[in-house]
Amino acid sequence: MQDRPVSRLSTNRSRISHKVRYALRHPRRVLPHVRRASRDTWLRLRHRGGHVAYYRAVMASDTARSPEAAVGGGPSHDRWLAIGQMQFDYLREHGLRPQDRLLEIGCGNLRAGWRFIDHLEPGHYYGIDISPDILIEAKKTLVRYGLQHKLPYLTPVEDLTLDFLPDASFTVVHAHSVFSHSPLEVIDECLANIGRVLAPGGFFDFTYDRTETREHQVLGEDFYYRTETLTRLAARHGLVARFMDDWERLPHGQSKLRVTHAV
């Protein structure tokens, strides 16, 4: 396993000492953080239906300000394009074919999805997201790139049970920067059901924020997990999870696991 910088993996961002040091190093980020914390507290009080209901409200708020920033596109359109290109290139290098059927969990506004749609045969892309607001933006992206003829499916969901999808349907399942915003029970729900929709020989790639210290979260939005926690969770559901070392060489802060059916 190729490591990220030790400082990233050993940092517990939930500790007061870390927050104080960070504030002293980055004083201009203090006010935006306070605003975010206040916004999140208000949304959590208004939406008490669990994490998904709360995070759907977060996405609605973020999307209203900037659809690209809402999906982690960074401060510029170029960065939005670059992260989407990175995801697409990675799957292409790992054998993504036009005839594959791809399910993208947390498709957002099609940051990578429009490239997948363009590459795949018509009707072979299925994107789901908990945020209806971001899916409206996804349709705008579809129109912007003239991909209506590819007939992608874009569907809002309330959970990750995937119960409306048919068995063994997808050769590739992809979730980028989804589990980094998910508590363990949401990840468990997804892993409990992904095996049913995954075709024989297919795989499920997902990124996560990796830590080698105590697992923690920040503001109920950002979650940090040890790799072994997620691999054990997959094994509980009859799945095998493999750490993707080659992803570590790319300019992205999260790590990646690939899940397959146990042989």
Task: Write the CATH number for 205.
Answer: 3.40.50.150
How many Cα atoms occupy the beta-carbon half-sphere of 262 within 13 Å?
A: 9
Query: What pLDDT score was predicted for residue 167?
Result: 98
Stated pTM of the model = 0.87
In a domain, 125, yes or no: yes
Domain that holds residue 140: 6-261
Query: What pLDDT score was predicted for residue 5?
Result: 58
In a domain, 247, yes or no: yes
In a domain, 216, yes or no: yes
Query: What pLDDT score was predicted for residue 227?
Result: 97
Task: Give dist(CA 255, CA 247) in Å, integer.
Answer: 7
| Low-confidence spans in the chain with pLDDT less than 70 | 1-8, 10, 12-15, 18-20, 22-24, 29-30, 33, 70, 72-75
Query: What pLDDT score was predicted for residue 7?
Result: 57
Task: Give dist(CA 233, CA 258) in Å, integer.
Answer: 13
| Residues 238 and 207: beta-carbon distance below 8 Å | no
Q: Which of 198, 189, 160, 177 is nearest to 256 (CA)?
A: 177
In a domain, 167, yes or no: yes
Q: Which of 3, 5, 6, 10 is nearest to 224 (CA)?
A: 10
Contacts of 207 (CB under 8 A, 6+ apart): 175, 176, 177, 178, 179, 180, 247, 252, 254, 255, 256
Query: What pLDDT score was predicted for residue 57?
Result: 82
State the total domains in the chain: 1
Query: What pLDDT score was predicted for residue 13?
Result: 67
In a domain, 1, yes or no: no
Question: DSSP strand E in 131-193: where?
Answer: 153-156, 170-175
